[in-house]
Amino acid sequence: KAGVTQTPRYLIKTRGQQVTLSCSPISGHRSVSWYQQTPGQGLQFLFEYFSETQRNKGNFPGRFSGRQFSNSRSEMNVSTLELGDSALYLCASSLATTLGTVSYEQYFGPGTRLTVT
Amino acid sequence: GIQVEQSPPDLILQEGANSTLRCNFSDSVNNLQWFHQNPWGQLINLFYIPSGTKQNGRLSATTVATERYSLLYISSSQTTDSGVYFCAARMYSGGGADGLTFGKGTHLIIQP
């Protein structure tokens, strides 16, 4: 089975611009989560989508948004980019979202490295 | 939310040595995973282990959920084991759940 794929792998943007990142989950996986990794804050949860609905959201401003399509592919968007948005953005897929005590293993893609100048 | 703490933050060992990495978490979890981050940034799954013990070659892991900690053992270390190891946990709750909460990682260096 192919793993999680993310495009683009590298991106350079200017402050004030917006950016869209894409993630294709493992075939059969219906949940997609997004994380941001920076040297200062480490790995932080952005949001999770399941069945085209945002299920959970981390503590990030509204400039960060996402969506999921009917084929489970997901995109995240960052508007009005700031220098501090420079980071590695990681997408993870799992079979489904957490339901009660049942949770599923998450598998990560290679990431998109975003540089904001 | 849940707190995840890893120790030690840095570990330097000679090739062939054994190591133990620790992960403490602050609440009941329904998901605990160990990852190795490669030099290009990708998180490689090592173990999905909310409780119990698992082994995969030279690596093994144990999670004692009632005492809220997990251990990752690496035996007969090789230089290719070098890198950052992350523990991540997801808290159980009656309703929805946040994403994985990551520790700050253990930076392991294996010297030849």
Tens digit of pLDDT for each residue in A31-72?
Answer: 999 999 999 999 999 999 999 999 889 999 999 999 999 999
A70 CB-near residues (< 8 Å, 6+ apart):
A52
pLDDT band, very low/low/confident/very high, at A108 (cuts 50, 70, 90):
very high
Tell me the per-residue pLDDT of B80-91, one tens digit each, with 9 for 90 and over. 999 999 999 998
Chain B CB contacts of A4 under 8 Å are none
pLDDT of residue B93: 61
- Given a cut of 90, whether residue B95 has pLDDT beyond it is no
pLDDT band, very low/low/confident/very high, at B92 (cuts 50, 70, 90):
low
Cβ of B47 under 8 Å from any chain A Cβ?
Answer: no
Tell me the per-residue pLDDT of B24-74, one tens digit each, with 9 for 90 and over. 999 888 899 999 998 889 999 999 999 999 999 999 999 999 999 999 999
pLDDT of residue B91: 80
Six-digit token pair at B64? 């004692």
Six-digit token pair at A60? 């990030």
Cβ of B69 under 8 Å from any chain A Cβ?
Answer: no
Residue B64 CA, distance from chain mean position: 13
Chain B residue with the nearest C-alpha to that of A3: B44
* CB–CB contact B98 A56 (8 Å): yes
pLDDT band, very low/low/confident/very high, at A97 (cuts 50, 70, 90):
confident
Q: How many cross-chain Cβ pairs, A to B, lie less than 8 Å apart? A: 67
Q: What is the dihedral of CA B12, B16, B20, B21, to 10 degrees?
A: 50
pLDDT of residue A14: 98
Smallest CA–CA distance, residue B31 to chain A, in Å, is: 6
